[in-house]
Amino acid sequence: MRSRANSVFIIRVLTGLGLIVLFAGMMVIDILFGTPVPALAIGTFLIFAAAHEFYAMARTAGVAPFAALGVAGSVAAFNWPWLEAHSPVFSPEGILAALMVAALLGMFFRQSRANALADLSVTIFGAAYVGLLAGFIVALHALEGGARVVLYAVTVSKLSDIGGYLAGRFFGRHKLAPVISPNKTIEGSAGAVVLSLAAAFSLAPLLPGEFSLWWTIAFGLAVNAAAQFGDLAESIVKRSCGVKDSATFLPDVCGALDLIDSVLISAPVAYAVVLVRP
């Protein structure tokens, strides 16, 4: 049993590092050749898979969302900054409005159902939670030196996950939020902060323009806090659905939603901190 746990631990760490390397490679291609297509394609696939997992979890809680509609809305919401640049019809407000109308039409044709409001709410929430929040990564890309900023922000966020996992595994003793996520520890949280700050400082030369020491500290702390909250927020969703994890993307390792949960919250925070830089 212990050997299996060790094997899963090693696989999870290697998978996390491998995905970061893959993401970094796609962003380097973007930076060098000015083509965001490979990274955007991978991101869209992850959003598709994460939204599918979200609606699958919701069904275990007795809710019947319009999953196909929600997945499509998630993908569109993720790509909204790019789509909006080509047509104002694809604003986030327009995408969510279209999703709401389509869901209401679907409920009309589905006829009476006691949990209709829950079905509608989960459909809309899923698209906003998975797609719209992640869309701030694409919004970051639209800023000056966007590919570098995206690489910086996502790496700081994901290294928070790895730092928390490693510190919690080896040093974790005191529970951080036992009701929400029994495996999270205060020591793991501290490790997440340390690795995020290390990444924020070491990768700061990637950023376009000049950024002060205090801004770098603020960015690392803000993105780390958002990333840790994003992980706990997904735990709340999973616990309410009565499932341990969302893993269908990489069974026994992690799900697509598990991979991006920290980024979902940290992306809009990173966007805000970048916009207010001195």
What digits encode the pLDDT tens for the residues 151-187? 999 999 999 998 998 999 899 889 998 888 888 999 9
Query: What integer pLDDT is reported at residue 215 of this predicted model?
Result: 94
Q: Average the pLDDT over 52-75 and give the result.
A: 94
Query: What integer pLDDT is reported at residue 248 of this predicted model?
Result: 56
Q: Which two tokens stand for residue 239?
A: 């616990």
Q: Average the pLDDT over 221-236 and give the result.
A: 95
Cβ within 8 Å of residue 173, ≥6 positions away: 185, 186, 187
Q: How confident is the model at residue 204 (pLDDT cuts 50, 70, 90)?
A: very high
Cα–Cα distances in angstroms (integers) from residue 200 to residues 32, 59, 93, 155, in the given order: 22, 39, 33, 9
Decide if 110 contacts 89 (C-beta within 8 A). no
Query: What integer pLDDT is reported at residue 252 of this predicted model?
Result: 56
pLDDT in tens, 27-36: 889 888 888 8
String of DSSP letters for 202-226: HTGGGSSS---HHHHHHHHHHHHHH
Decide if 75 contacts 44 (C-beta within 8 A). yes
Query: What integer pLDDT is reported at residue 250 of this predicted model?
Result: 56
Answer yes or no: is pLDDT of 68 > 80: yes
**CA torsion, points 10, 187, 229, 255, in degrees to nearest 10?**
10
Cβ within 8 Å of residue 19, ≥6 positions away: 158, 259
Distance CA 43, CA 134 (A): 9
Q: How confident is the model at residue 89 (pLDDT cuts 50, 70, 90)?
A: confident
Range with top average pLDDT, 60-69, 78-87, 113-122, 235-244: 60-69
Decide if 161 contacts 184 (C-beta within 8 A). no
Q: What percent of the chain has pLDDT over 70?
A: 90
Q: Which residue type, as a one-letter code, is found at position 234?
A: E
Q: Average the pLDDT over 61-90 and give the result.
A: 89
Query: What integer pLDDT is reported at residue 92 of this predicted model?
Result: 83
Answer yes or no: is pLDDT of 122 > 80: yes
pTM of the predicted model as reported, rounded to 2 decimal places: 0.90
Beta bridge partners of 177: 181
Answer yes or no: is pLDDT of 277 > 60: yes
